[in-house]
Amino acid sequence: MDSSSPTHDNRDRGTDENDDLPEAEEFLTPDSTRRGKRKQKPSSRAAEADADVDGSENEEGTEQDNAKVKKILPTRSEVWNHFTRWPLNRNKCDCNYCKRTLSCPTTSGTTTLWSHLDICKSYGAFKDGQDPSQGQTVINRDGHLQTAKVTEVIFRAAVHQMVVIGELPLAFVESVAFRHFCDKVNLYRPPSRRTLSKDIVKMYVERKAAMREWFITSKQRVSITTDIWVCQVTGASYMVITAHYIDKSWRLKKLIIGFKSVIDHKGKTISKTLLYCLAEWGIERVFCVTVDNASANTNALGQFQSNFSIISDDSLVMNGDFMHMRCAGHIINLIVKEGMSDYADSVTAVRNAISYVRSGTTRQKSFELRVDTGRMTRGSLPLDVKTRWNSTYLMLQRALKFKGAFDRMEIEDMPYNDHFLEVENGKKGLDHQQAINGGKLRVNISEKLQLLCATSDNDLKIKAEEMFKKFDKYWDGLKNINKMLVIVSVFYPRKKMQFASMCFDDLYGEGSKTARVMQESVSSIMRDMYEEYSQRYKCVHQQSDVTNQSASQCTQEQPMGCSWSDSADDEFFGYHPVESRYNNLLNKIGVRDTDELDTYLRDKVENPQVMMGLEFDVLSWWKVNSGKYPILSEMARDLFAMQVSSVASESAFSTSGRVINSYRSCLTSYMVEVLMCSEQWLKQDIDCELKVLTNQQILAEVEFEDGLEKEFNFGNQFSTPT
């Protein structure tokens, strides 16, 4: 090779071509076997040949009849950091980046390999990702410096997570908008829809296998929430199953473990699906199952209890007698609907009137001309969401503010009469609703309903009595409530049994027979539960105590660094004989085992005045005191993981039409489950808490958008007058 040949990356290829060969190795031409001649060495080594002793020219013409035995020497060229030779055929190698197979005969040098690196896109992407100068240094959300340029692997993983967490359609990666974005910011080419789907399923399967192995190994007890939702697009039914537990670090965890397609809402189907899902995950211990108040769920949990208890004696707590938890959110919703049932037509009329005003710019401006209270924006008249009755209250409250404008529109705007009906009835119902829900303090539902039943307003009294009947149907004070809800309040260090006793006295009268019966019932159930947990966990704690005692005895018998004279001094002063005599005395009279439950209830409650204004972290308290109450801490771990509402499952939907939307309704049930479960898992990994906007925040956002229109609408002078 000519010495003036181009170089790559400041490396002399004339030197690298044959540096993987022995110095004495011959350069043979294809026809060298016929002539028996040596090939003339390259011109790059001519200087070395001239520097040799005289007679080197004669050596070049001699023949070699006996071939030398070749030795495999380690490679010295840097190019072999990027290629891997085949073990059985050293004339072939693979690129470490694009996996392309290349020919690399030992007689041909490394020029071909260097040329491949120049055109290898995978190597170029790797080099750009490793070179900090190719990217911009930025500060991440943790406050650390990092290079903005990433590798293609990280880019594709981020795309997968974006599609799953953002609930985007799978075809989003093939859209013109996303591809334009990638080109604009100089990113890698996004994957196709099929590649994206395959990678997401692979990610789901790997994560599920790892979590399943953890459940099997740890024998973690979980609480379950489940509900059935119907897709508004296809009519398909899906059963979502969520597991809740507190890990060893005392952190509450939530995992959607199933999003199963079901053919009907019968109890047998629900029970079978729940059993299959738990078996699929290797979960063998359940504390409680929270469902809504449908009769099918009651039948389903009855079948589930009888089948699941067969797994082991430890599968259910107290034989599953308190496993069934009624969803408090559904019960409250039923009570509210009962109170609004007589005013359904009035609420519909108000909703139609607001829809009429918001349906067009002309109607909104016409309504604004009749408003006496100032400029009206779109946020002034919000529409409600039918699945959220608190938004209905806000809609009615705002409609009252503009009652005068609605009255004037009824006279001046004829089409309006077809939308707005029964204004006065709506106002009357609205007044009473405002009186019930206007307070900001948390109040007892039963107490407030009883007060409303004694009001002088006959209409309000009748409605309160109907709502109280619905309340008694499911709860009846605290008689029909799951007793675990009372017990979990006892495990709150600032309340204990004193708070439960006060509630019983308030509901049934101080010192009444019913209050005493309720207190005795809760104490009895709590004692039985403690005895059951003591039998299950005493072996573990006994082994720990035996280990500690053995270590203590070894230390006492022969302490590290203790001499014979020290032991002699102890015996001289009488220390050891006194301890031995006292231990013998304890063995005779016996030692009462420590009852953690009595000790906990006898201890004083935590002062609620300490650190006022800060939320008391009950899980951290039990984490710190788990050494003092080892058995009670295991009970607390299961009690605090219990869910009083199945809203935890519904929060993954917000509304059924939003999650099972038109994009995902055409997917298979398996793919829907993959996307739904992966979304919740990823959100938990990045500590993403669902931000629930209040009604006031929603209205503030709408008014902010109206302000943007006013600020940046430069063409107002050309707008047509109304």
Per-residue pLDDT tens digits for 104-158: 888 888 889 999 999 998 888 777 665 544 555 555 656 666 555 677 888 889 9
Task: Pick the closest to residue 163 from 671, 687, 692 (CA basis).
Answer: 671
Among 226-240, 373-387, 464-478, where is mean pLDDT lowest?
373-387
Q: What angle do CA 290, 687, 328 make, to 5 degrees?
A: 20
Angle between helix 152-165 and helix 669-685 axes, rounded to 10 deg: 110
pLDDT tens readout for residues 616-642 = 888 999 999 999 999 999 999 999 999
What pLDDT sits at residue 51?
43
Which band of pLDDT confidence, cut at 50, 70 and 90, is reported for residue 424?
very low
pLDDT tens readout for residues 304-361 = 999 999 998 889 999 999 999 888 777 777 777 777 776 777 777 777 777 777 776 6
Helix (H, G, I), strand (E, B) or coil at 291: strand
Task: Report the distance separating Cα 519 and Cα 498, nearest Å.
Answer: 10
Which band of pLDDT confidence, cut at 50, 70 and 90, is reported for residue 548?
very low
Is residue 313 situated within a structural domain?
no
Domain boundary among 481, 496, 530: 481
337 and 390 co-located in one domain: yes
Domain that holds residue 639: 482-543+618-647
Is residue 232 situated within a structural domain?
no
What pLDDT sits at residue 411?
66
475 and 506 co-located in one domain: no
Task: Pick the closest to residue 12 from 67, 75, 78 (CA basis).
Answer: 78
- Give the strand order in the sheet containing 324-326: 252-262, 237-246, 222-230, 286-291, 324-326
Task: Report the distance separating Cα 163 and Cα 161, nearest Å.
Answer: 5
Residue 61's φ and ψ, nearest 5 degrees, are -95, -5
Element at 227 (helix H, strand E) = strand 222-230
Which band of pLDDT confidence, cut at 50, 70 and 90, is reported for residue 178?
very high
Helix (H, G, I), strand (E, B) or coil at 116: helix
389 and 519 co-located in one domain: no
Count other C-beta atoms under 10 Å from residue 345's C-beta. 11
**Encoded amino acid at 148, one letter:** A
Sign for the CA dihedral angle at 303, 305, 308, 313 comes to negative
> Is this model's pTM higher than 0.75 or not?
no
What pLDDT sits at residue 555?
43
459 and 487 co-located in one domain: no
Task: Report the distance separating Cα 376 and Cα 370, nearest Å.
Answer: 10
| pLDDT above 70 (res 250) | yes
Query: Which residues are CB-contacts of 375 (< 8 A; sequence separation ≥ 6)?
Result: 368
24 and 118 co-located in one domain: yes
Task: Report the distance separating Cα 671 and Cα 418, nearest Å.
Answer: 46
Which band of pLDDT confidence, cut at 50, 70 and 90, is reported for residue 213?
very high
635 and 527 co-located in one domain: yes
Average pLDDT, the chain: 73
Domain boundary among 74, 105, 125: 125
Which band of pLDDT confidence, cut at 50, 70 and 90, is reported for residue 177?
very high
Which band of pLDDT confidence, cut at 50, 70 and 90, is reported for residue 653?
very low
Both tokens of 507, joined, read 């509901």
Question: Using an 8 Å Cβ cutoff, are 481 and 444 in contact?
Answer: no
347 and 391 co-located in one domain: yes
pLDDT tens readout for residues 26-70 = 434 344 444 444 444 444 444 444 444 444 444 444 444 444 555
Within 13 Å and on the Cβ side, how many CA atoms surround 48?
Answer: 7
Question: Using an 8 Å Cβ cutoff, are 432 and 457 in contact?
Answer: yes
524 and 401 co-located in one domain: no
Q: How many structural domains comprise the chain?
A: 3
